[in-house]
Structure 1
Amino acid sequence: MTILVTGGCGYIGSHMTWCLHDAKEDFVVIDNLSTGFDWAIPQSAKLYEGEITDLDLLQTIFRNHDITAVIHFAGSIIVPESVSNPLKYYNNNTAASRTLIEACVKNNIKHFIFSSTAAVYGDPEVIPVSEDAPLTPLSPYGTSKLMTELMLRDTAAAHDFKYTALRYFNVAGADPEGRTGQSTKNATHLIKVACEAALGKRTHLGIFGDDFDTPDGTGVRDYIHVSDLASAHYLALKRLRDGGDSIVMNAGYGDGYSVLQVIDAVKAVSDVNFEVKKEPRRAGDSPKVVADNSRIMSNLDWKPQFDDLPTIVKHALDWEKKLQFKNSL
């Protein structure tokens, strides 16, 4: 039984490869390396460089390996970019996922774990937000992910095919052992950007909107450690292997932190008082999104290990320091 990890050289995908490596699972990776790095995955991992829309490449992978499951991370993830270039997101996220799902059905691959997003909820009326909340995404990014969820739902109804879609909230942190982390240049993740500012890689940190209907006026998010998220994917796969039905689950801690609270945490952990500037709101940003995680907690034997904002920040900062040293060589 071999697992195909799409986008496995990216931020979350590379953590997934290390999770599978530690669990002694057989897996292979496909990545076009547009934002990922081949050095971020275990040296023993087999990497196919290419697109998930390349049917010949997919057939080669399926033929050369006994693929029984797919964990799908490949896609584009920047919300403001999706607003300015929606067709890119419908191509990279929705259309590409359709090709991959069809290839799985044709090759009798029955288990599929999908990297979805809390962006499908848009601006939820009830916080914490449950999986049964109205799905009203504010950005093409969120819509592109929702469309893939719908394709998975309909495919599972028509074929011998089971899936899990994990709607994650704000992913942050890095591998505690320092094996991988968020390495993309010009990243937009708040904690990474703040760590870059603390280390002098950026002149300042911008706060995009301070007039939201939140306690301090800045956006509130549920931050989940990337290693806990990877373990949730693995447990979701084991559940399907054990005969579990298709399911959609939030992946978050159920705790919300504002942008200002995150900035304060990074300043405290780094002991650097970096400059912060107020900027206009970004298109597609929701004021407050926090997970109701009762479904994932009741369906998986998931025990988050890093549900602590200072710990998340420390791991992210440690990785940023490692990157700084790596790039200076």
Structure 2
Amino acid sequence: GTPDVDVVTETTPTRPESPYGRSKLIGEWLLADQGTATGLTHTSLRYFNVVGSGHEDLVDTSPHNLFPLVFDALLADRTPIVNGDDYPTPDGTCVRDYVHVQDLAETHVAAAQALANGTPLRAVYNLGAGEGVSVRQIMTTIAQVTGMPFEPLVGPRRAGDPARIVASGALATQDLGWNPHRTLTEMVSSAWQARQSHPTAD
């Protein structure tokens, strides 16, 4: 949900506003209950906005995610749309914490290895970069990477979209070596290369 703080930590109150968010939180509860009942060792990794591609064979085609929506619009000679530009953010568009899928995958491996080795882990970890990037900044970077300049159209806000969500990944860095070092340009470039490798992706 919409946080009351600029940077979300693992102890920030959880208030999911969508069925997807609620299902994730329920998963954490189930793991905690199973741990109490059986001694199951576990941890939950809380993703923030995962983008990019770790391999050209893997392309994000979700109709709900920003990158594929913008790519598909550009490839169809349509102008991408920003959902709302009147949020209380520097440029009026939503601000999110974007992380590269490869950084995420590497930390999944680290968490699995730690659990397998019997290393005590916390119940949850935020996998965020701690840096906010606006939707308009994303679109500017996409225009630069693709070589397709455009000025996005402005549509209405989407229901339930918080103005800003940025997370601290400090605990994951401390315990799991979380290091979200790939830049926004690298995120966009890898996603664009994967999309170009799948011209009929849907």
TM-score (norm 1): 0.58
Q: Give the Cα–Cα distance (whole angstroms) in 2 for the partners of residues 292 and 159 of structure 1.
A: 31
Q: Identify which range, 245-254 or 261-270, moves more after superposition.
A: 245-254
Query: What number of residue pairs does the alignment pair up?
Result: 200
Superposed CA deviations along residues 237-268 of structure 1, whole A, max 9, x for unmatched, are: 01111213352000111111001000000011
- Report the counterpart of residue 150 of structure 1 in structure 2: 29
Residue 216 (structure 1) aligned with residue 91 (structure 2): yes
Aligned CA distance change for structure 1 residues 157 and 245 (closer, same or farther; 3 Å)? farther
- Percent identity reads 37
Does structure 1 retain, via aligned residues, the 8 Å contact 2:99–2:180?
A: no
Does structure 2 retain, via aligned residues, the 8 Å contact 1:197–1:274?
A: no
- Report the counterpart of residue 187 of structure 2 in structure 1: 312
- Report the counterpart of residue 181 of structure 1 in structure 2: 59
Q: Give 1 or 2: higher strand fraction.
A: 1
Residue 239 (structure 1) aligned with residue 118 (structure 2): no
Q: Give the Cα–Cα distance (whole angstroms) in 1 for the partners of residues 59 and 64 of structure 2.
A: 14
**Aligned residue runs from structure 1 range 15-164, under 5 A:** 122-164=1-43
- Between structure 1 and structure 2, the one with the greater Rg is 1
Compute the displacement of 1:188 (Å). Answer: 1.7
Find the residue that maps to 2:119 and give its secondary structure: coil
Does structure 2 retain, via aligned residues, the 8 Å contact 1:172–1:192?
A: no
Superposed CA deviations along residues 59-92 of structure 1, whole A, max 9, x for unmatched, are: xxxxxxxxxxxxxxxxxxxxxxxxxxxxxxxxxx
Does structure 2 retain, via aligned residues, the 8 Å contact 1:129–1:290?
A: yes
Aligned CA distance change for structure 1 residues 202 and 289 (closer, same or farther; 3 Å)? farther
Residue 287 (structure 1) aligned with residue 159 (structure 2): no
- Report the counterpart of residue 131 of structure 2 in structure 1: 255
In structure 2, which of residues 131, 149, 152 is the aligned counterpart of residue 273 of structure 1? 149
Does structure 2 retain, via aligned residues, the 8 Å contact 1:183–1:323?
A: no
Unaligned runs of at least 5 residues, structure 1: 1-121
- Report the counterpart of residue 191 of structure 1 in structure 2: 67
Q: Give the Cα–Cα distance (whole angstroms) in 2 for the partners of residues 197 and 144 of structure 1.
A: 30
Larger RCO (alpha carbons 8 Å, 6+ apart): 2
TM-score (norm 2): 0.92
Unaligned runs of at least 5 residues, structure 2: none
Compute the displacement of 1:183 (Å). Answer: 3.4
Find the residue that maps to 1:163 and give its secondary structure: coil
Find the residue that maps to 1:162 and give its secondary structure: coil
Aligned alpha-carbon RMSD (Å): 1.7
Does structure 1 retain, via aligned residues, the 8 Å contact 2:45–2:125?
A: yes
- Name the amino acid aligned to 1:183: T
